[in-house]
Structure 1
């Protein structure tokens, strides 16, 4: 039996934050404030038997995304499954949901990214059907 995937509510901010902090390095207060100020409008929780087992963060990007051929682009910003719920097909359910959601938003592609050194995320992306389209390293100099 699959779970329920629903938009995260404001009163679930701490649950959402627990998942988001597994993926994003921003400090907790900045994330919490951003969520409560609706800076993350497409945040979903996966519920089963009364427990939030996973989280999915999506966005719509209207600017160029490497490897994509059309705009707008649905973007997988983050995904996390609780350790005890892994290897049960939840990530696959979330990806199916994300693809359907993207089509409903008028998108024909779903993109994502991860850090070059994040081998587990790279493996995850390949396993659920993403194909790599490029690599980049970013630089900055103080002036």
Structure 2
């Protein structure tokens, strides 16, 4: 297994995995968004590749605005991470996160942050296993007027 920086040639494989993470999106929407982000200086995608198959990805960004619990700026941010189910629990996510942390560090970050939905116990447990600490919980509200 190798970790590589995503390029436009892997865009469809990347978007296909992202749709598994965020099934409420559309292929067209994510493809357009990710195609633009591939060339952003504030974002990077790394892919986990086994043979010729992309089995996971991480999307990292630099956030300059406030990040919950942060004490610095910019902060590297895990925008999304996904590994195909049959490849989980093999250290792939950890290696993707390490690549993202190194990228963040190379750009002057001293902290990396992430988030997880309140009901996503698996993601919360994963973050804690790889050394992240919980800094806040929120419940968001909205009202149509």
User: TM-score scaled by structure 1?
Assistant: 0.90
Distance between the aligned counterparts of 1:63 and 1:35, measured in 2? 21
Q: Which runs of 5+ in 1 are unaligned?
A: none
The equivalent of 1:38 in structure 2 is 37
For the pair 1:137 / 2:119, whether they are aligned, the reply is: no
Match of 2:109 in 1: 107
Residue 86 of structure 2 corresponds to which residue in structure 1? Answer: 84
String of CA shifts for 1:61-100, please: whole Å, max 9, x gaps.
0000010100000000111111222221111211221221
Deviation of residue 49 (structure 1)? 2.0
Question: What is the total number of aligned residue pairs between the two structures?
Answer: 141
Q: Aligned residue for 2:49?
A: 47
1:16 Cα deviation (Å)?
0.4
Alignment partner of 2:30: what SS?
A: helix
Aligned to 1:73: 75
SS in 2 for 1:79: strand
- Residue ranges of structure 2 left out of the alignment (5+ in a row): none
Cα offset for 1:101?
A: 1.1
Q: Secondary structure at the match of 1:68?
A: coil
| Counterparts of 1:115 and 1:133, CA distance in 2 | 14
State the secondary structure of the residue aligned to 2:37.
Answer: coil
Structural RMSD (CA): 1.6
> Distance in 1 between the 2:78 and 2:36 partners?
20
